[in-house]
Amino acid sequence: MTDVLSAHFKEQAAEAIGNATIQESLDRLVNFRQGRVDAIAEYGQERWDALSQSAREIKRETLEHLDYYLDELSRNVERAGGHVFFARDAAEANEYVAKVAADNGVKTVTKSKSMVSEEMGIADVLESMGIEPVETDLGEYIIQLAREAPYHIIAPALHKSKEEVSELFERILGTPAESDITALAGVARKVLREKFLEADMGMTGANFGVSETGTIVMVTNEGNGRMCSSLPRVHVATMGMERVIPRLRDVATYLPLLTRSATGQRISSYVSFVTGPRRSDEEDGPQEFHLVILDNGRSRMLADPELREALYCIRCGACLNACPVYGKVGGHAYGWVYPGPIGAVVTPSLVGVPKAKDLPFASTLCGACRDVCPLKIDIPRMLLKLRSDAVEGPAETRVPRRVESLMMRAWRRTVAGPRLFSLAGKVTSAAQWPLSRRGSLRWLPPPLSGWTRTRDFPRAAMRPFRARWRKDEGNRGG
Amino acid sequence: MAQKRVSLFVTCLVDQFYPEVGEATVRLLRHLGVEVDFPADQTCCGQVALNGGYRSHATAVAKRFVEVFRGSEAIVAPSGSCVATIHAHYGDLLRGYPELAEEVASLQARTYELSQYLVDVLGVENVGARLPSPARVTYHDCCHALRDLGVGAQPRRLLSAVDGAELTEMKDSASCCGFGGTFSVKFADISSAILREKLHNVEATGADVLTAVDSSCLMHMGGALRRQGSRTRPMHIAELLCEGIEGERA
Ligand code: SF4
């Protein structure tokens, strides 16, 4: 599995905030945001909401009977001549893919963008076997050359300026410097075309796995998914187990939600449907087709009624674009495969809260993510649930926080009645006096010093509201 | 029209830090003919604990809140965020007390953010406020007021009717100010970066006054405006709507 660096969220975030190139690239998210808004306006808000509602309904139904649909999917893939492997975790999935590659004497693997394969960390495994994995999505190719993790679910190289890409190509591919994006894409295309022809195995993800037909559906803009699934001898598709949808016609529900939310497109340039390997009467296509269905912690989410809906996610990236925190810290701060609001839910859920302890807390809970999510996933509520797991949950999810929990206990006693509450106010107000100047404080000791670095803090009132009320009016209620 | 009665839930922040916002709320409601009481046993809605992950503490506080406001006809608070806690989270928090379910639902239906109460319940848009001198005013949409309560149009209607106030929309008024409770301290760098962008939009309007329905967001944005020596003044909507109206003091 790809290493989890989420424990270093704060340092990674600070680095991004201090990096002008990264901040500039994050400003470009506004284009995604606007694209989405326009695309929904064109579609019609009411129609959109109805579509969103049916998509939720389908997911609810499917996850309710996930065992049934996965079984149906697997039988239909096999009927079409493919193989299906259920992997409990990333290690099992990697082992299976490695074996397929070894059995087929594979030397080069072309890959199209897949979050699940990132989650598995399959590229490293193949490399360690002496097999060359080549990312074929332009953005993924760039970050592969740079040896980095994807920055954004939809735009993996969002953080790279064209100058950086040119410099990268120059350094690694030895191509002359280019300042034009089309020219840079041309450079990559030339290299990748050779790899496509050379590859013995293609790996793709699957946006949807249709159980009634055993079809996997890939949504791409560069057509590279189709190249990976049709040119090499062997095609291995990986998907998270929540990607199954019951009927082929359900694609029509999800596709507009996905492309309009992701890039503002009515439909992506390519939508590929793959059902099994090449048939006997067909000239093209792989001789072998394998579908790897990954659990890797998803069953745990499924079993938790408060997290289950996170499995509705279709990875459109809209919540990243809308998130004020992602907009400042970018993708790498989150330290694993899935960044942004959905990453802050998925990462602790899959790898365990203690390994990603900051993520549930690194949110203002503003709710912008829930607003834009085409599946209406209530991410802030899930973050609250994960926070409570970290604070009050069972031993395996708890993260020790002694001082804070002592303070919280004191707080609870304070708010348990008006007497202590008033007293606490008076104490605060008195303690603040020596620090304050004209009603506000410019400096506070840790842990509040973070506030006063950039903001004044108000001084507690000498006479709180309740004292004023009593004095001037008498207490008529309560 | 039958005499309207409301209980003021002043919120812990306003009580201890911004009592004048509480006073303005009372004055405004009385000015509009509403009878106001103040259940003296009230403290906090529990949001602090809920957001910190201390669900069991939040549950205890929520339960207490239900008991304190049991007899109130309607509850009004000068805060979208606290009202949103009651609306969006008391159901979850008090799930372990099925005997309270009905009461919680009724409490939620009776609890209003101030501008929501004025516009949606009283049907008032012009409260009769008049600024001492003309001022440009810009309105920030507090996240929970907007997204959990659907409060956005109400404050704008009220502000538009204020004599001498020129309501000017900022860019991205609905984007978060970066406060998020303890987030602003635990993740101070991120919070400050978000805030910087917000204030850029605020100041670009050339506003004299920045207003909102939550003292917490105003404390956050106002704290930075003050630090920067900005000429834009933060002002809770209750105070702004109180300008120039006759009325007894709280
Ligand atoms: S959580 Fe919603 S908005 Fe975010 S990536 Fe998933 S489907 Fe898209």
pLDDT at A373: 98
C-alpha dihedral sign at B15, B17, B19, B22: negative
Going by their DSSP bridges, the two strands A215-220 and B209-212 should be labelled as unpaired
Question: Radius of gyration of chain B from Cα atoms?
Answer: 18
pLDDT at B249: 47
Q: How far apart are CA B21 and CA B14, in angstroms?
A: 6
3-state helix, strand, coil in chain B (%, to 5): 50, 15, 35
Nearest CA to ligand 1 atom 2: A373
Asked whether residue A423 falls in the same domain as residue A295, the answer is: no
Q: For chain A, what percent of residues have pLDDT higher than 70?
A: 98
All structural domains of chain B with their residue ranges: 4-121, 130-241
- The answer to whether B74 and B7 have CB atoms below 8 angstroms apart is yes
Q: How far apart are CA A385 and CA B50, in angstroms?
A: 9
Where does chain B show beta strands of DSSP type E?
A: 5-8, 35-37, 75-77, 111-113, 130-139, 163-167, 209-212, 233-236
- C-beta atoms of A465 and B186 within 8 A: no
Q: How far apart are CA A413 and CA A69, in angstroms?
A: 51
- B217 close to A (CB below 8 A): no
Task: Return the residue in B190, B198, B228 with the most chain A beta carbons within 10 A, the one to mutate for interface testing.
Answer: B190
Asked whether residue A291 falls in the same domain as residue A427, the answer is: no
Residue A395 lies in a domain: no
- The answer to whether A294 and A87 have CB atoms below 8 angstroms apart is yes
Assess whether pLDDT exceeds 70 at residue A472.
no
Assess whether pLDDT exceeds 60 at residue A476.
no
Chain A from 315 to 344: CB within 8 A of any B CB: 324-325, 327-329
Assess whether pLDDT exceeds 60 at residue B101.
yes
Residue A87 lies in a domain: yes
pLDDT at B95: 96
Q: Is the beta carbon of A315 within 6 A of some atom in ligand 1?
A: yes
Nearest CA in chain A to B71: A478
Rounded to the nearest angstrom, the gap between the alpha carbon of residue B88 and the centroid of all alpha carbons in its chain is 15
For B16, the closest of A324, A416, A425 (CB atoms) is A425
Assess whether pLDDT exceeds 50 at residue A475.
no
- A166 close to B (CB below 8 A): no
Task: Return the residue in B3, B5, B17, B144 with the most chain A beta carbons within 10 A, the one to mutate for interface testing.
Answer: B17
Chain A from 14 to 43: CB within 8 A of any B CB: 14, 17
Counting DSSP H helices and E strands in chain B, the numbers are 13, 8
Distances in Å between the alpha carbon of B44 and those of A239, A380, A473, B69? Answer: 46, 21, 22, 12
The least confident of A138-142, A350-354, A422-426, B17-21 is A422-426
pLDDT at A160: 94
Rounded to the nearest angstrom, the gap between the alpha carbon of residue B134 and the centroid of all alpha carbons in its chain is 24
Assess whether pLDDT exceeds 60 at residue A452.
yes
pLDDT, tens digit, for every residue of A361-410? Answer: 999 999 999 999 999 999 999 999 999 999 998 888 888 777 787 788 88
For A362, the closest of B54, B179, B187 (CB atoms) is B187
Q: Residue A413 — pLDDT band, cuts 50, 70, 90?
A: confident
pLDDT at A474: 41
- B70 close to A (CB below 8 A): no
Q: Is the beta carbon of A158 within 6 A of some atom in ligand 1?
A: no
Residues 6+ apart with CB under 8 A from A86: A70, A74, A241, A293, A295
- The answer to whether A14 and A453 have CB atoms below 8 angstroms apart is no
Of A51, A28, A27, which is closest to residue A39 (Cα–Cα)? A51
Nearest CA in chain A to B26: A469
Residue A153 lies in a domain: yes
pLDDT at A189: 92
Chain B contacts of A463, Cβ < 8 Å? 19
pLDDT at A445: 81
End-to-end CA distance of chain B: 24
pLDDT at A462: 87
CATH number where A102 lies = 3.40.50.10420
CATH 1.10.3470 assigned to domain B4-121? The reply is no
Q: Which of A234, A267, A299 is the last residue of a domain?
A: A299
Please tell me what DSSP assigns to residue B4: P
pLDDT, tens digit, for every residue of B81-94? Answer: 999 999 999 999 99
- A432 close to B (CB below 8 A): no
Asked whether residue A53 falls in the same domain as residue A200, the answer is: yes
Task: Return the residue in A8, A27, A366 with the most chain B beta carbons within 10 A, the one to mutate for interface testing.
Answer: A366
- Domain extent for A434: 418-475
Residue A336 lies in a domain: no
End-to-end CA distance of chain A: 58
For A448, the closest of B15, B185, B219 (CB atoms) is B185
pLDDT at A470: 65
Chain A contacts of B249, Cβ < 8 Å? 472
- The answer to whether A458 and B226 have CB atoms below 8 angstroms apart is no
Largest distance between two CA atoms of chain B = 54
Assess whether pLDDT exceeds 50 at residue A65.
yes
Residue A334 lies in a domain: no
Instruction: Copy the structure tokens of residue A305.
Output: 């009624």
- B191 close to A (CB below 8 A): yes
- The answer to whether A119 and A2 have CB atoms below 8 angstroms apart is yes
- A434 close to B (CB below 8 A): no
Assess whether pLDDT exceeds 90 at residue A227.
yes
pLDDT, tens digit, for every residue of A288-334? Answer: 999 999 999 999 999 999 999 999 999 999 999 999 999 999 999 99
pLDDT at B250: 44
Residue A309 lies in a domain: no
- The answer to whether A336 and A2 have CB atoms below 8 angstroms apart is yes
pLDDT at A473: 55
Is-same-fold flag (B4-121; B130-241)? yes
Rounded to the nearest angstrom, the distance between the alpha carbon of B89 and the centre of ligand 1 is: 22
- A464 close to B (CB below 8 A): yes
Sheet (strand B35-37) strand order: B35-37, B5-8, B75-77, B111-113
pLDDT at B98: 97
Q: Which of A248, A268, A299 is the last residue of a domain?
A: A299
Q: Determine the residue of A261, A334, A338, A363 to mutate for testing ligand 1's pocket, defined as the one with the most ligand atoms within 8 A of the Cβ atom.
A: A261
Rounded to the nearest angstrom, the distance between the alpha carbon of A143 and the centre of ligand 1 is: 22
Instruction: Copy the structure tokens of residue A37.
Output: 């808004």
Nearest CA to ligand 1 atom 8: A316
Where does B9-57 show beta strands of DSSP type E?
A: 35-37
Mean pLDDT of A427-445: 76
pTM over 0.90: yes
pLDDT at B127: 97
- The answer to whether A265 and A39 have CB atoms below 8 angstroms apart is yes
pLDDT at A422: 78
Chain B contacts of A364, Cβ < 8 Å? 143, 176, 178-180, 183, 191, 194
Mean pLDDT of A337-356: 96
Mean pLDDT of A175-184: 89
Q: How far apart are CA B76 and CA B88, in angstroms?
A: 16
Q: Which residues pair with A113 in a beta bridge?
A: none
Q: How far apart are CA A433 and CA A427, in angstroms?
A: 10
Assess whether pLDDT exceeds 60 at residue B227.
yes
Q: How far apart are CA A142 and CA A165, in angstroms?
A: 7
- B29 close to A (CB below 8 A): no
Of B48, B105, B238, B31, which is closest to residue A387 (Cα–Cα)? B48
What average pLDDT does the structure give for chain A?
Answer: 93
Determine how many CB atoms are found less than 10 A away from the CB of residue B4: 16
Assess whether pLDDT exceeds 60 at residue A477.
no
Q: How far apart are CA A320 and CA B247, in angstroms?
A: 48
Q: What is the dihedral of CA B156, B157, B162, B164, to 10 degrees?
A: 60
Q: Is the beta carbon of A374 within 6 A of some atom in ligand 1?
A: yes
Q: How far apart are CA B63 and CA A415, in angstroms?
A: 12
Q: For chain A, what percent of residues have pLDDT higher than 90?
A: 81
CATH 3.10.590 assigned to domain B130-241? The reply is no
- The number of domains in chain A is 2
Q: Residue A478 — pLDDT band, cuts 50, 70, 90?
A: very low
Assess whether pLDDT exceeds 90 at residue A168.
yes
- C-beta atoms of A329 and B50 within 8 A: no
Nearest CA to ligand 1 atom 6: A313
Distances in Å between the alpha carbon of A169 and those of A137, A155, A194, A228, A236? Answer: 15, 18, 16, 22, 28
Rounded to the nearest angstrom, the gap between the alpha carbon of residue A171 and the centroid of all alpha carbons in its chain is 30
Mean pLDDT of A23-39: 96
3-state SS, chain A, equals CCCCCHHHHHHHHHHHHCCHHHHHHHHCHHHHHHHHHHHHHHHCHHHHHHHHHHHHHHHHHHHHCHHHHHHHHHHHHHHCCCEEEEECCHHHHHHHHHHHHHHCCCCEEEECCCHHHHHHCHHHHHHHCCCEEEECCHHHHHHHHHCCCCCCCCCCCCCCCHHHHHHHHHHHHCCCCCCCHHHHHHHHHHHHHHHHHHCCEEEECCCEEECCCCEEEEEECCCHHHHHHHCCCEEEEEEEHHHEECCHHHHHHHHHHHHHHHCCCCCCCEEEEECCCCCCCCCCCCCEEEEEEECCCHHHHHHCCCCHHHHHCCCCCHHHHHCCCHHHHCCHHHCCCCCHHHHHHHHHHHHCHHHHCCHHHCCCCCCHHHHHCCCCCCHHHHHHHHHHHHHHCCCCCCCCCHHHHHHHHHHHHHCCCHHHHHHHHHHHHHHHHHHEECCEECCCCCCCHHHHHHCCEECCCCCCHHHHHHHHHCCCCC
pLDDT, tens digit, for every residue of B106-164? Answer: 999 999 999 999 999 999 999 999 999 999 999 999 999 999 999 999 999 999 999 99
- A391 close to B (CB below 8 A): yes
pLDDT at A446: 79
Q: Which of A299, A314, A331 is the last residue of a domain?
A: A299
